[in-house]
Structure 1
Amino acid sequence: MSLRAGLLCLLIGAGTAMAQSPAPADAARAAAARLAKATQGLDAAETARDRVKALSEAIRAFEDGLAAMREGLRRASIREQTLTRELAARETEIARLLGVLQSIGDQRRPALLLHPAGPTGTARAGMILADVTPALNTRVDELRAKLEEVSTLRRLQDSARETLQQGLEGVQAARTQLSQAVADRDPLPRRFTEDPVKTALLIASSETLEGFASGLSEIAVDEAEGSLPDIAHRKGKLALPVQGRLLRGFMGSDAAGIKRPGIIVATRPRALVTTPAAATIRYHGPLLDYGNVMILEPRAGLLFVVAGLDVVYGDTGQVLPAGSPIGLMGGADPGIGEILTQSGEGTGADRTETLYIEVRENNVPTDPSAWFSIAKDG
C-alpha cells in the first residue's frame, strides 16, 4: 500500500463517507493536504533523516484522516439510529398516511364528483381536500427525505469499509518505513555518552521515578557544556507527544487509588509518539512499573517523562529535533468490522492505549497542563 494510494483514500473519505458531517470532512481534507505535502517531502528526501521527518508527518496525517473518518462514521451512525427510531415510532401514523393516499389514488373520477349532500356538499368536500392535500404532500415529502437519508447513510457506511482498509494499510506501511528510516539515518548529535554499567546500577537501586531522575546525571559520560534553546515562551502551548484525549489529570487517582504526579492520555493503538520540542534523550527503555519510558530534556533542569510506549526510537544522549518520532504505542490496529462497530459507541471507544506524561522542573513534579495545550476531548 503506497502513500499515494493512502492519499487517494483520504480524499475519497473526505468526499463521500463524511459528506453528511462537514467538520470531519474538513478535517479529512486537511489531513489529505498534509499527506500530500509529506509525500512530496518523501520524493525530495535525500537522506534517511529527511525520510524520518516526512514519514512522521505522513503517519500523523494518516492518523488525522482516519480519526476524521471515524468521527464521520460515528455521526452518520448516530443520525441513522435517530432517524430509524423516529420512523419506527411513527409507523402507525405513516401507515394511515399511506392508506389515505392510496384511497385517494384508487377513487374513480366520477365517484369523486358525487356527494350525498349534493352539489354543495361536493364543493365543500373539494375545498377541504384542496386544503388537506398540500399538508399531505408536505408530510409525504418529509417522509421520503428521511427514508432517502437513511438509505444514503447506510450506503456510505458500507462504502467506508474499503476506504478504511486502504487507510489502515497506508499507515501500517508508513510505520514500517519509518522504523527502517530511523535505523538507516546518520547518527544524531550527542550531548553525552551513556555508561551502561552506571545505568544498570541506577535502575537497580531506584525505587521511584524521582530517585531515578535525580541520578540521571550520573550515567552521562563526556557531557557537553551548555543547554538547548530555552522554550519558556512556548509554555502552555506545546502539543502533546501523542494524539489522544485526557483520561486522568495531574495527581488523579487510578482504579487502585494510586495518585501519580502526571497525566494519562488515552490513545489509539500504534499511535505515533513524538518529542514536543527539541530535546536530549536522557533515558529510554523499561523502568520500574512504567513500561517503556522515554525521558527527554528540552533544557537544563526540565524533564519530560513519557511512559507506556511499546516501541522506542533513538539512543540515550542523542539530541532530537522538535517533532522527531520517539516511539509507537502498543496494541494492534482494529479490524474494519471493529471500527464500524465502535463508530456507534461514542467518542473514545477506540482509544484503548494509555500514555503517562510527567513534567519535572528541577526534579519537582509540575502539572503538565502548565506546559502542554490539552483538550479533554482531543
Structure 2
Amino acid sequence: MTLRAFLLALLFAAPVHAQTDPSTSALNAAQMLEEASVALTEADSARDRVRALTETIQAYEAGLTAMREGLRRAATREAQLGAELRSREDEIAQLLGVLQTIETTAPPVLMLHPSGPLGSARAGMMLSEVTPGLNARARELAHDLQEVQTLRQLQQSAADTLTEGLTGVQTARTQLSTAIADRTDLPVRFVEDPIRTAILISSTETLEGFASGLSEISEGGIADTNADISQRKGEVALPAQGVVLLRAGETDAAGVKRPGVVLGTRPRAIVTSPTAATIRYRGPLLDLGNLVILEPQPGLLFVFSGLQEVYGNPGQVIPEGTPVGLMPGETPEIGAILSTSSDGTGTDRSETLYIEVRQDNSPVDPESWFRTSKDG
C-alpha cells in the first residue's frame, strides 16, 4: 500500500464507538450505593422507620442491579475494544510510525521531493490534507486505550463497592424486620382467630376454597371499607423488582398452567404492597409456600406466593409501599457476581414470585391490573 493510500485509509476508516459509556453506568451505580448507605444511617431517625428502611432496601437493590449491569457492559466493552485493538495492531504500528516520522523530521527535509519544487508542493498539499485526519485517529486511539484502562480499574475496584452494598442491604433487611415487629400504628379491620384459620387451612384443597372462607377467620366482624383502586386498573406497579417469566395461562416446565403471573426476582428481593390494602392472610398455604393475600378493595384480592419471610398481621391496613415479605435464596458472593458480570441472560433472577388476582373469588389476568413489560 502506498503512503497516500495508507493515510487516506486511516482518515476515512473511523472506528465504531459504543453509543453509551459502560464505565459511566457503573460509576453511577456506585454513587447509587453510596447514597443508599447514607440513607441507611439516616433511617434510625426517620419518623416512619419502616418506610425509610424499605426505601433504603429498594435503593440498594436498584444500585446493585445497576452495578451488575454496568460491570456486565464494562466487561463486554473491554473485550470489544481488546479485539478491535488486536485486529488493528499492524495499522496502529504504521500510524505511530508515520506520526513519529512527521514529528521528528525537520520541515525543510520533510518537504524535499525527488521531482523538484512541484513535487515538494504536491507533497506539502497532501501532508496538509491528511495531517488533521492522522491527529484525529491518534486521539481516537488514545481514547480507546484510556477507556480500556478505565474499564480495568473499574472492575478491580468493584469488589469493595459490591461488598459495602451487599453488607448494607443485609443490615437494612435485618433492621426492617425489627421495625415491622415494633410497629403499632396501623389501623386494624379485624383480629384473626388462629384456630379458625387452622381449621380453614386443613379443610381446603385449593386457593379458591381458601379465599372463599377468608371471612371466617376473624374473631368478630370485619370492618367495612370504601377503598377503591379501580381508577388505577392496568397501572398498578409490580410488588417486586423482576421480569415476567410466565404470563397467565402459560405452561410452566412441569406442564402446569396457572391463572397468575410468575415474576423472576433476585434472591432476597423485597416484596411490597403495590397499593394501600388490608392483609387478609399471610403464612404457608397448600403447595404455594409462604404467601400473603392483600385486599385493596372489597371483592379484590392480590395473592403473592413464594416468599421466604412474610411481614405484618392479618387485619392490618397497610399503606402503599409497605413491605410484606422477602424472597428466598442466598445473596451471591462477590466473586460470583464479578464472574457472571458478563452474563446478560438474566440467570441471576433465580427466585420466582407467583402473582394471582382474584375478583369476586374468580381469577382474572393480573396484567389487567398490574403494569408489566409486554416483552418480558
Instruction: Give me the TM-score of the superposition, normalised by structure 2.
Output: 0.83
| 1:321–1:104 distance in 2 versus 1, CA, 3 Å | closer
Aligned to 1:321: 319
Q: Say if 2:111 and 2:123, in contact at 8 Å, map to a contact too.
A: no
Q: Gapped runs of 5+ residues in structure 1? A: 1-16
Give the aligned partner of residue 247 of structure 1.
245
1:266 match: secondary structure: strand
User: Is 1:20 matched with 2:18?
Assistant: no
Q: Residue 357 of structure 1 is aligned with which of 343, 355, 358?
A: 355
- Letter of the aligned partner of 2:373 in structure 1? A
Matched-pair contact (CA < 8 Å) for 1:245–1:377 = no
Query: Which amino acid in the other structure matches residue 334 of structure 1?
Result: P
Say if 2:238 is the partner of 1:234: no
Distance 1:223 1:153, change over 3 A: same
How far is the alpha carbon of 1:123 from its aligned partner? 4.4
Shift of 1:198: 3.1
Taking structure 1 as reference, are residues 267 and 376 closer, same or farther at Cα in structure 2, changes over 3 Å only? Answer: farther
Comparing 360-369 and 53-62, the one that deviates more: 53-62
Which residue of structure 1 lines up, in the alignment, with residue 202 of structure 2?
Answer: 204
Paired residue secondary structure (1:282):
strand
2:260–2:366 contact (8 Å) kept in structure 1: yes
Identity, in percent, stands at 58
The question of 1:184 aligning with 2:182 is answered yes
For 2:331 and 2:353, the matched residues in 1 are separated by: 17
Q: Which amino acid in structure 1 is aligned with residue 24 of structure 2?
A: Q
User: Structure 2 residue aligned with 1:152, among 150, 153, 167?
Assistant: 150
Partner of 1:289 in structure 2? 287
1:274–1:59 Cα change, 3 Å: same
1:274 aligns with 2:272: yes
Listed one character per residue, the Cα deviations across residues 165-192 of structure 1 (whole Å, up to 9, x for unaligned) are: 2121111111111111122222744322
Equivalent AA in structure 2 for residue 354 of structure 1: T
Q: 2:129 aligns to what?
A: 131
Partner SS for 1:240: coil
1:65 is aligned to 2:67: no
Count, aligned residues:
356
AA in 1 matched with 2:191: T
**1:13-162 to 2 correspondence within 5 Å?**
20-21=24-25, 25=28, 40=42, 42-45=44-47, 50-102=48-100, 112=110, 115-162=113-160
1:81-101 per-residue CA deviation (whole Å, 9 max, x = no partner) reads 332222222233223323434
Q: Please give the alpha-carbon distance, in whole angstroms, between the structure 2 residues aligned to 1:190 and 1:113.
A: 92
Q: 2:300 maps to what in 1?
A: 302
Equivalent-residue separation in structure 2 for 1:90 and 1:335 (angstroms): 38
1:205-239 per-residue CA deviation (whole Å, 9 max, x = no partner) reads 32221122122222222023312522222222222
Question: Whole-Å Cα distance in 2 between the matches of residues 350 and 266 of structure 1?
Answer: 9
Give, in angstroms, the shift of residue 56 of structure 1: 1.3
State the shift of 1:337 in Å. Answer: 2.4
C-alpha spacing 1:223/1:37, structure 2 compared with 1 (3 Å): farther
Structure 1 residues 288-320: Cα deviation after superposition (integer angstroms, max 9, x where no partner)? 221111111122211110000011112223322
Gaps of 5+ in 2: 1-20
Amino acid of the structure 2 residue aligned with 1:146: D
Asked whether the equivalents of residues 277 and 318 of structure 2 are also in contact (C-alpha less than 8 Å), the reply is yes
Distance of aligned partners of 1:335 and 1:120 in 2 relative to their CA distance in 1, 3 Å threshold: same
CA distance in 2: counterparts of 1:94 and 1:113, whole angstroms = 24
User: What is the rounded CA distance, in whole Å, between the counterparts of 1:169 and 1:376 in structure 2?
Assistant: 34
Offset of residue 112 of structure 1:
4.5
Name the CA distance, whole Å, in 2 between partners of 1:249 and 1:166.
Answer: 36
Residues 234 and 128 (structure 1), Cα distance of their counterparts in 2 relative to 1, 3 Å cut? closer
Judged with a 3 Å threshold, the aligned counterparts in structure 2 of structure 1 residues 206 and 104 are, in CA distance, closer, same or farther, namely same
Q: Which residue of 1 aligns with 2:12?
A: none
- Residue identity opposite 1:263 in structure 2: V
Alignment deviations for residues 126-159 of structure 1 (CA, whole Å, 9 cap, x no partner)? 4433433333222222111111112112222222
Cα 1:108–1:19, aligned 2, differ >3 Å: closer, same or farther?
closer
Q: Tell me whether 218-227 or 365-374 shows the greater mean CA deviation.
A: 218-227
Residue 261 of structure 1 and its aligned partner are, at CA, apart by 0.5
| Equivalent-residue separation in structure 1 for 2:51 and 2:124 (angstroms) | 75
CA distance in 1, matches of 2:245, 2:82: 33
TM-score scaled by length of structure 1: 0.83
Query: Which of 215, 218, 226 is the aligned partner of 1:217?
Result: 215
